[in-house]
Amino acid sequence: MNKIIEFQDVSKSFGSLQVLENLNMHVNSGEKLALIGPSGSGKTTILRILMTLEKIDGGVVKVDGDYLWHQKIGDKLEPASEKHLHKMRKNICMVFQQFNLFPHLTVLNNIVQPQILIKGVDKVDASNKAEELLALVGLEGKESHYPHQLSGGQQQRVAIARALAMDPKIMLFDEVTSALDPELVEEVLSVLRQLAENTNTTMLTVTHEMNFARDFADRVLFFEHGRIIESGPPDIMFTNPKESRTRDFLKNFIGGI
């Protein structure tokens, strides 16, 4: 299988706090990956590194065969230029915990503007695609609303549609339901389940919703203190994990599984 993401000996610290320690991992093309683990274990940092929101301190990250944070100049690996990062970001898009919709634009324009500005799509095509995607996430008729007129769950679904409009090869979902009221969580998760089933896009999700992780993922990674403790298919990870630390962590969610 073709590895679309590779982390090789990646380290990352925030001040004196080491978040990732010589991390090695890969993600296959089209794979749906769930990253679970206690808060502060480095899961979100992995997504943020992939989205180029956080630099790495050591090691290399490869995306689609190319270095993400470096570029090869002659035989040497140099830190990536802004131009290189711009090129690499074409393949990746992230959905955030806080939605981060553009509050000054309507729902439709939130999805249309990036297509026009970044992908050079013409206005009619961009609108058509936005309408299609809004239907996909169950938000027909909300085109002319502003984000603040929508519930959190609706805003997050718009954010998902906005990310989809960019046709990324890799989608990153960073605790996308953590900021939502409990009754709104399911509407977002069901959209994600549906996406996971129907697309070839590689997807990484950081989540505390274990039921969702089980349905969504082909593979689950359990993190603690910046290291992968255990990984495997959800059936095994959630029913019969090898490591005691994984079991201890999952115990807290036993009611939900």
- Dihedrals phi, psi of 151, to nearest 5 degrees: -75, 165
Cβ atoms of 98 and 179 within 8 Å: the answer is yes
Tokens of 244: 């005691």
Q: Given candidates 12, 32, 70, 89, which one binds another protein under the rule CB under 8 A?
A: 89
Three-state SS at 133? helix
Name the minimum Å distance from CB 225 to another protein: 25
The least distance separating another protein from the CB of residue 148, rounded to whole angstroms, comes to: 5
**Two tokens, residue 132:** 């299609």
CA-to-CA separations, 158 to 19, 119, 130, in angstroms, rounded:
31, 19, 10
Q: Closest Cα partner for 204 from 45, 15, 1? A: 45
Q: Does 42 bind another protein (CB under 8 A)?
A: no
**Which of 166, 167, 186, 218 touches another protein (CB under 8 A)?**
166
Q: Does 153 sit near another protein (CB under 8 A)?
A: no
The correct pick among 57, 102, 194, 254 for binding another protein (CB under 8 A) is 102
Of 15-23, 86-94, 122-130, 186-194, the window that binds another protein (rule: CB under 8 A) is 86-94
Least Å from the CB of residue 88 to another protein: 9
Q: Which of 52, 71, 156, 207 binds another protein (CB under 8 A)?
A: 52
Using the structure block, give the residue that is written with the tokens 């296959």.
Answer: 28
> Which of these segments, 26-34, 94-102, 203-211, 212-220, binds another protein (CB under 8 A)?
94-102
CB-neighbour burial class of residue 153 (10 A; exposed 0-12, middle 13-18, buried 19+): buried
Q: How far apart are CA 232 and CA 99, in angstroms?
A: 29
Q: How far apart are CA 158 and CA 44, in angstroms?
A: 21
Determine how β-strand 202-206 pairs with β-strand 58-63.
Answer: unpaired
Q: Looking at 15-23, 26-34, 89-97, 192-200, which segment touches another protein (CB under 8 A)?
A: 89-97
Q: At closest approach, how far in Å is the CB of 215 from another protein?
A: 25
Site for another protein in 64-83 (CB under 8 A): 82
Q: Which is nearer to another protein, 82 or 122 (CB)?
A: 82
Contact set with another protein (CB under 8 A): 51-53, 82, 86, 89-90, 92-94, 96, 98, 100-104, 113-114, 117-118, 147-148, 162-163, 166
